[in-house]
Amino acid sequence: MPFDISIFQEAVKAIEEEKADTFTSLIGSSDALLFSMLSSPSLLLCPSEERANELHSDVLFWSKLCGTDPPVVIQPEGSPGRLKSIADLYTSHKGKVIASVDAALSTLWRNEEFPLTGLSKAECVERDEVIRELYAMGYLNVPVVSGTGEISIRGGILDIFPPDMEFPVRVEFFGDEIESLRFFDVDTQLSVKEIEEIWICPVIEPEKGPDLINLMPESRLILSEPDDIRRRHPEIDELFEGKKIISFRSLPLEGEGFNCSINSPAGLGLLRDERKSVEGLVKRVNELRRNAFIMMVCSSEGQAHRLKDLFIEQNSDITILSSDNVLKEIRGTAITIGELSRGFTYQETIVLAGADIFGMRPAFKPIRKSRVSKLISSIEDFKKGDYLVHIEHGIGKYLGIKKERIEWHEDDFITIEYLGGDKLFVPLERINYVQKYHAPEGITPKIDRLGSKTWQRTRQKVKNKIKDMAGKLLKIYARRTAASGNAFSADTELHREFDGFFPYEETPDQLSSINEIKRDMEQPVPMDRLLCGDVGYGKTEVIMRACFKAVYDSKQAAVLVPTTILAEQHYETFVSRFSAFPIKIDFLSRFKSTAELKQTLKSLAEGGVDIIIGTHRLLGKDVSFFNLGLLVIDEEHKFGVAHKEKMKALKSNVDILSLSATPIPRTLHMALSGIRGMSTIETPPEDRLAVKSKVSRFNPTIIREALQHEIDRGGQAFFVHNRIHDIYEIGSFLSGLVPGARIGVAHGQMNGKELEQVMHKFFHREINILVSTAIIGSGLDIPSANTIIINRADRFGLADLYQLRGRVGRSNVRAYAYFLIPGEDIISEQAGKKLQAIKEMGYLGAGFRLALKDLEIRGAGNLLGAEQSGHIGAVGFDMYMEMLESAVSELKGEKRVPEIESSIELKVTAIISEEYIEDPDIRMSIYRKVASAKEIESLKKILDELKDRFGPLPEETKRLIEIMEIKIMAMKLFITKIENIDGRIRILFATGTPVSSEKIFSLYNTRKGYLKFLPEGGIELDMRGKKWETVFWELKEVMKELGVHNNA
């Protein structure tokens, strides 16, 4: 029996022949199928943005199945994807367009006025003219391009990130000719692909112009659910005056227009809430398929293959078809893969969507590969007045970069001021000796005196304390590795099916975390691993795979979370994700009745529950497990001492996976490698436009408009007020300001049950404005909450503000964060700087990096204990991490090769000039890269990067790379110093140098006349009157003959 689309063909004919203008009974995704079959230009308007996006996704599926052109969806003003969708509209010749009414009413360009700038390789075009055009199109000039709408100008190189492209483009000019066009990667800033031409669209919208309806006068105008549209937009009919309108309605209105007679699959025993298990679906499909065509649409290959296996288990076969072939299937039942919101039935044809079969999947924002995390860690900007730590001289104040002319060459120096006004000048090629001082919030460093022994004593004291702590960590690790645990079996085909059931593509971070955890679980010693990643970054999927692995081997898994809301959220996510597998999931919550709790505990003790989720209730005396194999602990530092003691009792011989939403620094990760397993998901949410930040004085009008806007679009909002004594007054104030809002109040001094009830109501959307203290800072994932207002933002730490802002922007809807302050004359200077940093909280803004560093220090404190915070404050975070890594390595008995720092003083100008790299932060980050290079190969990569990002190297920058090449070779030979004294180059060796005396003598034999031995044990080359090129070549030859080759 074929897929019967006859009713849709009749409806299309009725539309094209103008025989009907209302089409009823369009249930589920049937309206999308009808729209996809229309061949003429059409504009489909929807009541809301969410409905427009859902319809667009459904139409994409049906368009592929029918072989018709896909539509363009126009996002509303302020949405992250709007500019891309507008570019698609003008460049795809507008066949079929879908939009919400809000999106359709925004101003657009007339067709002939849409600004597009074309660039092609070998074209002659004035660079400055291109830049002027880009400014006119709304592009913003930044030091480093990291997001759409940005350009970066560096001499003959121009980087551009158009809103409709996945990669930014790098344009390299030679005079006024475009010499090269290439895409580059934001993460590495390196080119990835040469291209021939590119069209660049604008990033701002016109102030005047037609709306979408008037831009497409020839297109057929279709309204999806016209009653809903008129309810939301009472004046809308004035816009439609004189236009022929077609209506798509889901209601079966008798006697009105063309009744499509489409029905819901409800009542057939197929939907998830109509059966006990997914096996029940298979049984019912087998009964119905004798007389019906049934198409089941799964959202991933994993879901499709799992469903097919369930049919095979019940001795019936089913075909998995690509959506292109479904209409050609002559008879029977099929599975296909695609995104479809809801199914429908028509006569003997039944369509089931993934949500009908497996239940609604949890809201999840697709995550892209991290693009900026590496770049962030590579840029460390020093601002005047910052505290710096010099490895040898201690903590001082940064005064800036000074250019000095010494004899006949120039050099750049970092100037650091110490106690008493003494100054230290550090050449920028030795920047690796200097770190920015970072410490836990509230700690002010003690400035050292240049030349005193205080710094050395402080370092030694902290070193001893770190050694003690590292020793304790190693003992715990040794005890754990000596214990015998359960070695879980290797993954099977069923594990791979479960993994494939995930409807999104995993990020690289997720995959590496999953592999590390599974590898640990397969070992015979108990796992102890920490998984770090912010809420919404995909940790839940990782822990579900670990739980599946445990349950597959007939072990129970327990997930311990700090709040009841999180327990509920996890429970719903787990039930949906495991729906196609025979695994029993339950949860413990104070919202369950006594009888329900009793039954859950009984089932857990008897092995009837495979995965249990709960708060500290899981640690109660009445809780016993049948066969616990995996314990997942979310935010362990939030549990009290008594709870931690109970955890210890549970932990023996059980695999432990701890979760943290606070990022753990890479350096700590490295330092503890081999002691504590750590996995990190640091991929940020996909779109940097997700949260729009605004700093404003406390203004009732702004507050009312922000909250009303959120409520009008069906969303929820947080109002953060961190003073409990008047928080209820704020709640009353907001009730008067926004009549009709459902307001709840939450703070830490409420009793547990009362607080949980408020959060429960907010989670289930019974409350739409939550007035709260900062307790909402982490752990909550509520995609429908997309506005946050933070009162007295000047009183919060930067890390807290960053985490609070992260509570919104977790769906595909534009989110807003308002930071409210009193009059600027009242806030302190420090708070003013903090608010400036908030404004800069773009991906590469200083604010983002500061907040990230503060969070990392907090994460390190959570992991290492409060006592260590003081030690971090004494020497600075970065040095503390280096000392910890060194202590752990020493205690593990690892041999550390001593490093000799070679001093190179060759009296040539070897700098990165401001003309070559204008931005001081980027210039300093490149200096740091160059100074940190330990291998010639690393230098070659830096050289390639410089050419790619900034163009051909000037002579003085080439010399810097060449001097570093000599330095790397010298360090391998334990050469302490290479110094130019009036044209004579002195080379001094350290004791323990690997260079044999025979090699040094052989140098003398080949260089008689200009090489001599020095009494202090070195050699001297007479290079008076020689050019730098000759000196450099000679020094390289000397190094090679002494035993170091170019691949050093």
How many of the other CB atoms lie within 10 Å of CB of 344? 24
pLDDT of residue 612: 96
In this predicted structure, which of 547-556, 716-725, 882-891, 901-910 has the lowest mean pLDDT?
Answer: 882-891
CB within 8 Å of 215: residues ≥ 6 apart: 108, 110, 111
Q: Under a CB-based contact definition with an 8 Å cutoff, are residues 588 and 614 in contact?
A: yes
Share of the chain above pLDDT 70, in %: 87
pLDDT of residue 733: 95
Indicate the pLDDT class of residue 687, thresholds 50, 70 and 90: very low
Helix (H, G, I), strand (E, B) or coil at 334: strand
Top pLDDT among 381 and 300 is at 300
- What b/e readout covers 465-479, taking b as 16+ CB neighbours within 10 angstroms? bbbebbeebbeebee
In this predicted structure, which of 43-57, 84-98, 200-214 has the lowest mean pLDDT?
Answer: 84-98
pLDDT of residue 376: 43
- Which is nearest to 905 in space by CA: 401, 423, 427, 431? 427
In this predicted structure, which of 249-263, 618-632, 755-769, 845-859 has the lowest mean pLDDT?
Answer: 845-859
Cα torsion at 1027, 1032, 1034, 1037 (round to 10°)? -160
- What amino acid is encoded at 1012 in this protein? K
Q: What is the DSSP string of 390-449?
A: ETTTEEEEEEEEEEEEETTEEEEEEEEE-GGG-EEEEEGGGGGGEEE---STTPPPPPPP
- The residue whose two tokens read 């009296």 is 907
How many of the other CB atoms lie within 10 Å of CB of 177? 13
Q: What is the mean pLDDT of residues 968-984?
A: 92
Q: With a cut of 70, say whether residue 1 has pLDDT above it.
A: no
pLDDT in tens, 521-556: 999 988 888 888 766 678 889 999 999 999 999 999
Distance CA 237, CA 257 (A): 20
- Which is nearest to 590 in space by CA: 574, 614, 609? 614
pLDDT of residue 942: 94
Q: Under a CB-based contact definition with an 8 Å cutoff, are residues 793 and 820 in contact?
A: yes
Top pLDDT among 752 and 106 is at 106
* DSSP summary character for residue 527: P
Top pLDDT among 237 and 643 is at 237
Helix (H, G, I), strand (E, B) or coil at 1020: strand
Q: With a cut of 50, say whether residue 374 has pLDDT above it.
A: no
Indicate the pLDDT class of residue 371, thresholds 50, 70 and 90: very low
Q: With a cut of 50, say whether residue 778 has pLDDT above it.
A: yes
pLDDT in tens, 555-575: 999 999 887 778 888 898 899
Average pLDDT, the chain: 85
Distance CA 845, CA 52 (A): 34
Q: What is the mean pLDDT of residues 461-479?
A: 85
Distance CA 30, CA 250 (A): 9
Please report, for the chain, how many H helices and E strands are present, in that order: 34, 43
Q: What is the mean pLDDT of residues 75-83?
A: 78
How many of the other CB atoms lie within 10 Å of CB of 1027? 9
Cα torsion at 277, 283, 287, 292 (round to 10°)? 70
pLDDT in tens, 333-362: 889 999 999 999 998 899 999 888 887 765
Q: What is the mean pLDDT of residues 408-415?
A: 80
Q: Under a CB-based contact definition with an 8 Å cutoff, are residues 333 and 647 in contact?
A: no
Indicate the pLDDT class of residue 728, thresholds 50, 70 and 90: very high
CB within 8 Å of 232: residues ≥ 6 apart: 47, 48, 101
Q: What is the mean pLDDT of residues 460-480?
A: 85
Q: What is the mean pLDDT of residues 959-977?
A: 93
Top pLDDT among 1025 and 838 is at 1025
Q: What is the mean pLDDT of residues 998-1024?
A: 88
- The residue whose two tokens read 């490895």 is 391
Range among 531-545, 843-857, 897-911, 964-978 rated most confident: 964-978
Q: With a cut of 90, say whether residue 116 has pLDDT above it.
A: no
Counting every residue written for the chain, the total comes to 1048
Q: Under a CB-based contact definition with an 8 Å cutoff, are residues 108 and 212 in contact?
A: yes
pLDDT in tens, 477-510: 787 777 788 899 999 888 888 888 787 777 788 8
- The residue whose two tokens read 């003997």 is 348
Domains of the chain (ranges, CATH numbers): 6-110+208-259 (3.40.50.300), 115-200 (3.30.2060.10), 272-358 (3.40.50.11140), 477-680 (3.40.50.300), 691-841 (3.40.50.300), 903-1042 (3.90.1150.50)
Q: Under a CB-based contact definition with an 8 Å cutoff, are residues 975 and 989 in contact?
A: yes
Q: With a cut of 70, say whether residue 852 has pLDDT above it.
A: no
